[in-house]
Homo-oligomer: A and B are copies of this chain.
Amino acid sequence: MLSNILKISQDAKAAKKLNPELIDATVGMLHHESGQIFTYQTVTDTLCSLKENEMYAYSPANGTAEYRNGIVDWVFGKNKDRIKNAFQINVIPTTGGSGAISNAVYNFNDFGQKILIPNHYWTPYENIAEEANVGVETFSMFDKDYRFNVGDFRQKAFALAERQKRLFLILNDPCNNPTGLCLSKADWVEVIAVLNDISRRDIPVILLHDLAYLDYHAQGFDGARDIFETYLELDENILAIIAFSGSKTFSLYGFRIGAQIGLTKSKDVMADFCRVGDYSVRARFSSVSRSGMSVVGQIFSRPEKKAAFQNELLTAREILKKRVDLFSAEAEKAHLQTLPYGGGFFIGVPTNNPDIFDDLVKDGVYSITMPGLVRIAISSVPLSDIERLVQILKKNV
C-alpha cells in the first residue's frame, strides 16, 4: 500500500476550492484560524537576512557547527549536559525527518527483516520499510483503558528480537502521529527496560525515536523533555537515533531540513553510525537544504533569536490548545470517544466503520483514516469548524 497522505491532502484542497464549507482535517501543518499557514516571524526574518552563500551554496557535508550543536542542545534541553556526558553523540543532517527515518531503516536492517512499530502508525513508515526491503510488525499501542500497552510491547519485542536476532523499534513520541498520545516518563522507563533486557542477550537493539512534534507538547518546552532522563539508563550497546524535524518545529515543511541524532555509549557503535549515516546522506541526496540549515543554525545559536522563537512557539501551542479544548468539550457533549491527547497536531478518534473515509467525505470532511482510526489534523481545523466536525464524526464512526 502506498500511503497517500500528501495526495489525499491535495484532493482535499482541490475539493475545498469548489466547496468552501468543506472541512479539511488532513494537513499536518499548523494553520491560522484564517486558513493561512502558520509561520514564525523569527524564521522569516532570519531567512530574509541570509547572505547569498548561506542560501544558494551547497551545505557543508556534515552540517555547520551551529546546526549540529544547536540541535543537540535544543532537543535535550534541561537534560543536555547529562546526555552529553553519558553518550557519544553525532548529528547527521537529513532531508527532513523523513530522510532521517528512511536512511536509518535502510542502514540498520538486513533485507527481509522486520521492524517493530505500534499498530497505529504514520503510514509512510510502511512505505519506507518496503522501499528498504524490510517488513513491519506491530504491537498494540493501547491497553483496554487506552494507556500505552507496555505488556504487549514487551511480548512482541522479545518475540521479534529472539526470532531475527535484531530489534529495530520506531516510536513516534511525544505527540504521536496519528493518535496524539504522549508516553509518560514511567512508560519510557519501561520501554527502555525492555530494550535493555534484549540488548543484554547480545541482540543488537536500535531505537529510532521520531520526535517530529516534540515542540507542540501540551506540557510545554520543559515538560516535553522530561522523557530524556530515562535515556540515561540505555544499555551500552544500544544505538538510539533521534529523527529531528525542522519542518514541524520551525514550520519549514517545504524546506526539507532535519537530522539524525545518533546516541550510544559504545564507541564502536558510534563509529558505525557515523560511517554509514554519512555515506547514505551523500549517496542518496548529496547534501541538504542550505537555507534551512542556516535558519535553524542561527536561531539555535543566537540567544536573542532563540528567545524570540520560543516565545512564538507559545503562541503556536496556544492555537492548538484552544482547538483541542473545544474539540474535547464538543466530543464530551456528543459522547464521541477520542484517544488520550498529550499534544501535537493530531487527535485520534476510534472507529468501527470500514467505509469511514468515504462516509466522512460524503458529509464534507476530509481526514486521514487507517484501520480503526480517524486522524484529525487539529493543526489545520479552525475553531469555527470544530462543533460541526465533531457532529459529523459522531454520525459516522
The CA of A114 and the CA of B4, in the complex, are separated in Å by 33
Contact digits for A92-106, partner B, Cβ 8 Å, 1 yes 0 no: 000110110010000
Residue A52 is within 8 A (CB to CB) of chain B in the complex:
yes
Bound together, the chains give a CA A124 to CA B251 distance in angstroms of 32
User: How close is A283's CB to chain B, nearest CB, in angstroms?
Assistant: 4
A285 touches B55 (CB 8 A): no
Separation in Å of the A251 CB from the closest CB of chain B?
A: 6
A256 shortest CB reach to chain B, Å: 6
A79 at interface by CB-CB < 8 Å:
no
- Tell me if B58 and A29 are in contact (CB < 8 A): yes
Known: A61-B10, A98-B286, A285-B95. A254 touches B56 (CB 8 A): yes
User: Is A61 touching B6 in the complex (CB atoms < 8 A)?
Assistant: yes
A2 is an interface residue with CB less than 8 A from chain B: yes
A contact residues, range: 35 or more
If the complex has contacts A285-B95, A286-B99, are A254 and B10 also in contact, measured as CB distance less than 8 A? no
Cβ < 8 Å to B, chain A residues 340-373: none
CB–CB B283/A124 < 8 A: yes
Bound complex: CA of A59 vs CA of B254, how far in Å?
A: 6
Copies of this protein in the complex: 2
Contacts of A251 in B (CB 8 A): 56
The reply on A146 being an interface residue by CB < 8 A is: no
Residue on B with the closest CB to A61? B6
- Shortest C-beta distance, A45 to chain B (Å), equals 14
Contacts of A29 in B (CB 8 A): 56-58
Of the candidates B52, B59, B254, the one whose C-beta lies within 8 Å of that of A57 is B254
> With A and B bound together, what is the CA distance between A186 and B357 in angstroms?
56
Kindly identify which residue among B52, B95, B124, B253 contacts A37, using a CB–CB cutoff of 8 Å: B52
Interface centre among A39, A57, A96, A254 (most CB of B within 10 A): A254
As a 0/1 sequence over residues 282 to 321 of chain A, the CB contacts with chain B under 8 angstroms (1 = contact) are: 1111111111000000000000000000000000000000
Q: Is the CB of B127 within 8 A of A283?
A: yes
Q: Does residue A53 face the partner (Cβ distance < 8 Å to B)?
A: yes
- Name the distance in Å between A37's Cβ and chain B's nearest Cβ: 5
A138 CB to nearest B CB, Å: 19
Contacts of A252 in B (CB 8 A): 56
CB distance from A122 to the nearest CB of B (A): 11
A289 contacts B256, CB within 8 Å? yes
**Cα distance, A98 to B39, chains bound together (Å):** 30
Using an 8 Å CB-CB cutoff, how does the interface string of A120-140 with B read, 1 for contact, 0 for none? 000010011011100000000
10 closest residue pairs by CB, A with B: A254-B290, A131-B283, A98-B286, A95-B285, A6-B61, A127-B283, A128-B283, A58-B253, A99-B285, A7-B61
Known contacts A2-B278, A58-B253, A256-B289; 16 additional CB pairs below 8 A are A4-B61, A6-B60, A6-B61, A10-B60, A37-B52, A39-B52, A56-B253, A57-B254, A95-B256, A98-B284, A102-B285, A124-B282, A127-B282, A128-B283, A130-B283, A254-B289
